[in-house]
Structure 1
């Protein structure tokens, strides 16, 4: 039998009324606000289990307005290594514990598929592409905490005249369990040869179908190969260049219906992430001589704004105090002002750094030949995945 997590013994006793005065349970003496305040301080798995305590507790925890109060418990990062035998999937835990699931996701690789690639992660769901060949691949969304998954149907094919002129560099997952159990997948289309965004195919798990939207933008945005997508504030963001100018960088944001498109100017090619409900952007600090001397963390405090605000800065002299190496930002903690830095060179060290208090945290050793792409994973212990028909 699985051992109870911290805090669960107390709450089991509370449920039974142990330690309270005769004739009343301890839980009956707590207001909804007090119950929520305590639940917000417990591990995510425990909160999920406490939905079975009573109908009241289930409704409190499941209420979208309340779920926004619960912190996202970052478990770690998914990444891959490349060898002569192909790609290998790994997980680095930020707590030092064992991986919460097999990062190779074996149930997504039946005999007819030769492998899977990591595409994106969002609020506990993972997006993969499984394939036999370049021309035979399918997108799959899964929840590794529950083992449930769904394979997306094929995307709509462009007309024959358009087929030779369109391809994609970015695919992203959009999901907010505090708003809905349904997710969206975005597949951006560009003119051939890395020209500019022409539109996007959007899959909705609510309808089970894809829809196509033209961008309609006057600005010409070119995405980078394998660009990381981030969903926050109802928009999916991805980084690109503006109007074919190599050093004119922007963040492109698109809403769930593909009707709202906006761009936000940024200083350079950095790392984006969602933290504390806001879009964050980490970038190297450069002096007047174009020399890198530190790291900056910017934040979009107002979702309706198109202007990022400088939140924190850190010099390499501070960042190198523990490792003696230079690093770049590859991840941002979803619930606090901590960034994750990958060492330059072989990229075999990941460092947590508290930018608010300017303190190094844990150092994590990675597999050799690690890729430069890391997907943050926070477990979602929801019983269902919309449209799931997998195991």
Structure 2
């Protein structure tokens, strides 16, 4: 051990002769962020890996914070930064050409952003772009020519670098059916060949809630029912998209006289996770999906006294109960939950391990927020 230590110290800024650089980087890329931040202080060579542009894209990534945009038309994109975030990334997207309207953020997936170049969220798909703020690359999506029966179009950006180096965009074109209710046809854009697929999937229920993409599967929450739609990412030769539904754990989002958002989805180490307050709001549970449909409780986080008050439930003017804080995002690898205090209009991060509260930003009117972790790899499909 003393000989190894001496070798490390003598080769300042270089890796040891025991392992090749690529193998060291591969090992370090499998570490959780917390362990990596501790181990990179072992020697100068390991610290150098964390700043090397070639290796950095494979190492654990530091989250920047919460991307949000105020609901008023014409407002710009903002970043509520975490204390350890990178500060050299243009999250305002000034590198994307924009003529009349500012960009409107629509979705975020593992460092890539989907935005509209018009203020209208139901704009034609030809006004949508996908970009990477970390590398300042972007591309406009080609139009799928939606038919006249379409009442709204929902785009979902899907990118998981641990599963594929290509991204997808799922387009759900919703319309009314004569017997009542909704019907949607789903098409998929492939960045690999920059085309929309001919594969189709028909949906006959209101799945346009929150979503997350994990290991090649897009999970979308139902608007009011307590379950998910799971869509498998097809290949370019597929004609159909496999789909199934999964019951969510916890309680339904609208029990009698109770009005609250239906929890929050995320991924952690390639596993789908779900967080939701308990009925009194004083506890938060976080589950992981084990297998195809079994939910296992991973954490139970006390929120008692976190905001300096004991009562975390309130009633509106109709007498309906609601939580006075929302779960916006969470990250089990970084052991944090991001919440918005609806009373003080502040964004906080809460430590899963200690329950400690850290303020991120003031004066936010319940933003539509997206958890942002930069991705430094370049995409051939995106043009600078």
TM bracket (short chain): 0.7 to 0.9
* TM-aligned CA deviation for residue 121 of structure 1: 1.1
1:377 aligns with 2:350: no
Contact 1:239 1:250 in 2 (8 A): yes
| Other-structure match for 2:185 | 199
1:297 aligns with 2:292: no
Q: Distance in 2 between matches of 1:323 and 1:45?
A: 44
| Other-structure match for 1:127 | 114
* TM-aligned CA deviation for residue 313 of structure 1: 2.0
| Other-structure match for 1:271 | 264
1:199-238 paired onto structure 2 within 5 Å: 199-216=185-202, 220-224=204-208, 227-238=209-220
Contact 1:172 1:228 in 2 (8 A): no
Match of 1:142 among 131, 139, 143: 131
Inter-CA distance 354–301: structure 2 relative to 1 (3 Å threshold): farther
Q: Distance in 1 between matches of 2:194 and 2:276?
A: 37
| Other-structure match for 1:7 | none
SS in 2 for 1:107: coil
What TM-score results when the alignment is normalised by the length of structure 2? 0.75
1:84-103 paired onto structure 2 within 5 Å: 86-95=74-83, 99-103=87-91
1:19 aligns with 2:29: no
Deviation per CA, 1:292-319, whole angstroms, max 9, x where unpaired? 44322121133xx122222222343153
SS in 2 for 1:142: strand
| Other-structure match for 1:79 | 68
Contact 1:188 1:200 in 2 (8 A): yes
Contact 1:197 1:215 in 2 (8 A): no
SS in 2 for 1:87: coil
1:181 aligns with 2:165: yes
Deviation per CA, 1:122-156, whole angstroms, max 9, x where unpaired? 12111111127665561111111111111111124
Please, which runs of 5 or more residues in structure 1 have no aligned partner? 1-13, 53-57
| Other-structure match for 1:157 | 146
* Bigger strand fraction: 1
Please, which runs of 5 or more residues in structure 2 have no aligned partner? 1-6, 41-45, 235-239, 254-261, 313-323
Match of 1:366 among 349, 362, 375: 362
Q: Distance in 2 between matches of 1:29 and 1:279?
A: 37
| Other-structure match for 1:282 | 275
1:24-103 paired onto structure 2 within 5 Å: 27-30=16-19, 33-38=23-28, 40=31, 41=36, 47=49, 50=52, 67=58, 70-83=59-72, 86-95=74-83, 99-103=87-91
Aligned-residue CA RMSD in angstroms?
Answer: 3.4
